[in-house]
Amino acid sequence: MLSDAQRAFYAENGYLMIENAVTPDQLDRLRAITARLIDASRTVSESNDVYDLDKGHGPDSPRLTRIKIPHKQDPYFWEVLRHSTMTQVLNDLLGPDTTILTSKLNTKAPGGGRAVEWHQDWAFYPHTNDDLLAFGLMLEDVDEANGPLMVIPGTHRGPVLDHTSNGVFAGAINPDDPAFDREKIVTLTGKAGSMTVHHARLLHGSAPNRSDRARMILFYECASADAWPILGSNSYFHALGQRKFWDDLQDRTITGTPCLTPRLEQVPVTMPLPPAPDTGSIFRTQESAGARSAFAED
């Protein structure tokens, strides 16, 4: 699927853009399911295990920051991950045996949908090696006005920056960190059905949605099967216990089989502790920890 040039670009820069990651029929079905889930949120008044609500949410105007773990809300989200161009890209970059860590559908509402402050996914869930990545499937067209993903190329090969604030894990870097080089920011836009790929250690974020259109991106965070979690902020499977963890691992296997021999590499690890007061989502982690915004003047 991926060319040698694409593989080399990913290794050097830590990200890719893939067009037509799903078929038109798959995209239409994903949109329809998403619309149904958003409509169902009209009866929800507080964030819960399915929805993270944005300010101004109500029965007449549903406003969400996120639909949590969508592949557990509707099986079609899981089916598409396992049977699409995404699957081929996953195997090209991580090998034949892969597993999912989590999924999320970030649904930035029009007119101010929340920013995601700059961070590295790796800070949330260090593993025994860093063969981890995230897919970001665009369910609607994404341009510079509606809060696209932004990345800083090459940062996946550098240090893991400090993600603490006020003595707790904030899930965001300090925008004054000298390693945060704004001049190198690349903005990733594309048509519905396109997909971003970014390495778990790549520094990235996204501005508020200032447009009059939603920005819906379906994220899958995936790992090579031989990358075993050391600790994970917000990872439900750490609380399952041995038997349930094993059963859950079978369900999280995307392609191939589970690996019981973790591959240990010299990777930088800092535990995401102590936790923020509210760890319900990255938005709540960043807000409750008092993380400074890099978008305050935008």
The per-residue DSSP string of 52-120 comes to EEPTT-BTTB--EEEEESHHHH-HHHHHHHHSSHHHHHHHHHH-S-EEEEEEEEEEE-TTTBPPEEEE-
Q: Which two tokens stand for residue 133?
A: 């990545």
Instruction: Report if residue 297 sits inside a domain.
Output: no
C-alpha 3/C-alpha 272 separation (Å) is 36
- According to the model, what pLDDT value does residue 297 have? 55
- 34 in any annotated domain: yes
- The sign of the CA dihedral 202, 119, 261, 69 is negative
Instruction: Kindly state the percentage of the chain with pLDDT values over 70.
Output: 99
Confidence of residue 253 (pLDDT cuts 50, 70, 90): very high
- What's residue 233's pLDDT? 77
Residue 298 lies in a domain: no
Gyration radius of the chain's alpha carbons: 18
pLDDT the model gives residue 18: 97
Asked if 211 and 165 touch (Cβ cutoff 8 Å), the reply is no
Confidence band (pLDDT; 50, 70, 90) for 298? very low
Count of the separate structural domains present in the chain = 1
Q: Which CATH number characterizes residue 151's domain?
A: 2.60.120.620
Residue 22 domain-assigned (yes or no)? yes
Pairing of strands 98-108, 215-224: antiparallel
Provide the residue range defining the domain that includes 255.
4-288
Has residue 111 got a pLDDT over 90?
A: no
| Chain segment 64-81, per-residue pLDDT in tens | 989 999 999 999 999 999
State residue 55's pLDDT score: 87
Angle 173-179-180 from CA coordinates, rounded to 5°: 55
Question: Does the residue 294 lie in any domain?
Answer: no
> Taking residues 83-94, what's their average pLDDT?
98
Tell me how crowded residue 101 is: count the other CB atoms within 10 A of its CB. Answer: 21
More confident residue, 5 or 237: 5
C-alpha–C-alpha distance, residues 216 and 108, integer Å? 6
> What is the spatial distance between Cα 186 and Cα 181, in angstroms, rounded to a whole number?
11
- Which position has the token pair 């970001």? 136
Residue 293 placed within a domain: no
- Residues 238-252: tens digit of each pLDDT: 889 999 999 999 999
Tell me if 166 is assigned to some domain: yes
Using one digit for the tens of pLDDT, what is the confidence trace for 10-54? 999 999 999 999 999 999 999 999 999 999 999 999 999 999 998
Q: 111 or 43: whose pLDDT is higher?
A: 43
Q: Which residues contact 33 (CB under 8 A, 6 or more apart)?
A: 74, 76, 77
Does residue 188 register a pLDDT over 90? yes
Of residues 115 and 168, the one with the higher pLDDT is 168
> Average pLDDT over the chain, rounded to whole?
95
Q: How many residues does the chain have?
A: 298
* Mean pLDDT within 1-10: 97
Partners of residue 199 on adjacent β-strands: 133
Helix (H, G, I), strand (E, B) or coil at 5: helix
**Residue 296 resides in a domain:** no
| Statement: residue 232 has pLDDT above 90 | no
Alpha carbon 113 to its chain centroid, in Å, reads 16
d(CA 102, CA 11): 23
| Closest alpha carbon to 121 in 104, 109, 137, 138 | 104
Compute CA distances 262 → 97, 110, 119, 242, whole Å: 12, 43, 26, 16
